[in-house]
Amino acid sequence: MVKKIFSILAWVVTGVALVVLFIAARDNYLNMPLKSINVNIDRVNDNGFVKESTVTADLGNICNAAKIGTVNMQAIQSQLKSNPWVQTSAAYVDLGGDLNVSIKEHHPVLRIFGSNGKSVYLTDDRIVLPPISSHTPYLLIASGNFRLDSLEMGHQLNDTLKADRNLIGAMAVMEAIGRNPFIKSCAGQIYCNRQNEFEIVVRDLDARVVIGDIGNLDDKLRRLEIFMKQKIGTNEIKNLNIINLKYKNQVVCTKR
């Protein structure tokens, strides 16, 4: 009986000691100064709109001389979300005392220039985002009759919003160009005219290429591909003013 009591007491003392050690270790950890800030940015290219040095500096201002237990994670998340180019983010302090930040950056696929010179980017998930002077990626450009003044940054394009119809159309044209390797290799720009019809500027081709609306885009670009392969390098194509793809199963051309 006495042996059993001593055994129980030993387990209780061991448990209490472990709890005390855990509390002491926890207090010691929470009172440690934050050692460093490690930033990892997930994006398609090496360079982008979110700068690691800027993120580190901004978070350093929040965490300056902070102990691990006083690091304001809510303020850190708010700071990360303040950059419109941050798609998702996560932050945590590891056992070594380092603040680790993971950021996924939005992926731009098209730049839109409005008639007033203002520009925005559209991402692969159709988010409207502002340009940043420190980074200008090489992307297909769309210009012309786009209403950009009232656009809210971070807004996702919606078919029900009339102000966004031409932006949605430009995205559709860009995506169709991406599905046609030949046209993708020679398409220089997308243009939206005053009639809200789309045109493509083709490299080394002086003629206007009129697509019209966004119906049957793959078929229209396929017809353009066949026509160009047949006529490229000839005097005939050099004398054309307009190549019109609006009409079903036709390529209607106008000479200069």
- On whether both 149 and 92 belong to a single domain, the answer is no
Q: What is the mean pLDDT of residues 99-109?
A: 93
Task: Give pLDDT, residue 189.
Answer: 94
Last residue of a domain, one of 67, 82, 105: 105
Q: Please state, in angstroms and rounded to a whole number, the distance separating the CA atoms of residues 180 and 177.
A: 5
- On whether both 94 and 216 belong to a single domain, the answer is no
- On whether both 85 and 178 belong to a single domain, the answer is no
Lowest mean pLDDT across 19-23, 94-98, 157-161: 19-23
Last residue of a domain, one of 105, 124, 149: 105
- On whether both 86 and 112 belong to a single domain, the answer is no
| 131-184: pLDDT as tens digits | 998 888 999 999 999 888 877 888 888 755 545 789 999 999 999 999 999 999
Q: How many domains does the chain have?
A: 2
3-state SS, residue 61: helix
- On whether both 59 and 100 belong to a single domain, the answer is yes
**Beta-ladder partners of 41:** 103
What CATH number did the domain enclosing 81 receive? 3.10.20.310
Q: What is the mean pLDDT of residues 242-251?
A: 88
- On whether both 64 and 115 belong to a single domain, the answer is no
Helix axes 165-179, 217-231, angle to 10 degrees: 50
Lowest mean pLDDT across 1-5, 73-77, 223-227: 1-5
> Per the domain annotation, does 65 fall within a domain?
yes
User: ∠ CA(29), CA(88), CA(123), 5° rounding?
Assistant: 160
Closest to 86 (Cα-Cα) out of 56, 55, 117:
55
- The backbone torsions φ and ψ at residue 226, rounded to the nearest 5 degrees and listed phi first, read -60, -45
| 57-91: pLDDT as tens digits | 888 887 775 676 677 788 889 999 999 999 999 98
Task: Give pLDDT, residue 161.
Answer: 52
> Per the domain annotation, does 90 fall within a domain?
yes
> Per the domain annotation, does 70 fall within a domain?
yes
Q: Which residue has the higher pLDDT, 164 or 253?
A: 253
> Per the domain annotation, does 4 fall within a domain?
no
| 188-209: pLDDT as tens digits | 999 999 999 999 999 888 888 9
- On whether both 70 and 196 belong to a single domain, the answer is no
> Per the domain annotation, does 229 fall within a domain?
yes
> Per the domain annotation, does 19 fall within a domain?
no
Last residue of a domain, one of 72, 105, 138: 105
- On whether both 52 and 150 belong to a single domain, the answer is no
Q: Which residue has the higher pLDDT, 210 or 163?
A: 210
What CATH number did the domain enclosing 166 receive? 3.40.50
Range of the domain at 210: 108-255
- On whether both 119 and 239 belong to a single domain, the answer is yes
Strands 208-212 and 240-244: parallel
Q: Please state, in angstroms and rounded to a whole number, the distance separating the CA atoms of residues 66 and 14.
A: 34
pTM reported for the whole predicted model? 0.81
- On whether both 98 and 163 belong to a single domain, the answer is no
Closest to 125 (Cα-Cα) out of 99, 152, 158:
158
Task: Give pLDDT, residue 34.
Answer: 74
> Per the domain annotation, does 228 fall within a domain?
yes
- On whether both 115 and 186 belong to a single domain, the answer is yes
Task: Give pLDDT, residue 27.
Answer: 43
> Per the domain annotation, does 154 fall within a domain?
yes
- On whether both 97 and 120 belong to a single domain, the answer is no
